[in-house]
Amino acid sequence: MNFDDKLDELFIDLPEPSAEIGNTVNFVTSGKLLHVSGVLPYVDGKLQYSGKVGIEIKPDTAKLAAKTAAIAMLGIVQSALGGTINKIKRVVKLEVHIATGVDCIHHEKIADGASELFVQIFGPYGKHVRNAYGVTSLPKNSCVAVSGVFEVK
């Protein structure tokens, strides 16, 4: 399966990775695992979705934000792997942090925005374990942040 071709079929252009901030890096490899730091839903260098889910942001919009952050994360993966995502063996784990009001109960639906994207691209190799958390705030007032672990061939 050619995952780069799948991106083309889905009309997905991966962005360049954002600049690293402070004492952190966008990714770390350990053995055959590629760990990617939390990524916000940026497009062309601008945060696309800000606010708390259940207050300023609707759950369906937050689901799209999770997908947008996952696309940005794949841009980091592509860069880390020399310009291709074909070196990915499987998606291992996702963590989705969601800035929510106290009454939000849609964590799994919102996190599906990222999860569904990986299954679309990687097929059965896109199935993964996942944690989805509601939090009181995220950097830049983003409504979501997505991080992941990938196994590399």
- pLDDT per residue as tens digits for the range 92-112: 999 999 999 888 889 999 999
Could you give the 3-state DSSP secondary structure of residue 106? coil
For residue 118, pLDDT beyond 80: yes
> How far apart, in whole angstroms, are the C-alpha atoms of residue 108 and residue 133?
9
> What integer pLDDT is reported at residue 18 of this predicted model?
83
E strands, the chain, where?
27-30, 33-39, 42-43, 46-47, 88-99, 129-135, 144-152
Q: For the domain 3-10+26-152, what is the CATH superfamily, name and number? A: RutC-like (3.30.1330.40)
Using CA atoms, how far residue 150 sits from 18, 48, 58, 128, in Å, is: 19, 25, 29, 9
User: What pTM, to 2 d.p., does this model score?
Assistant: 0.95
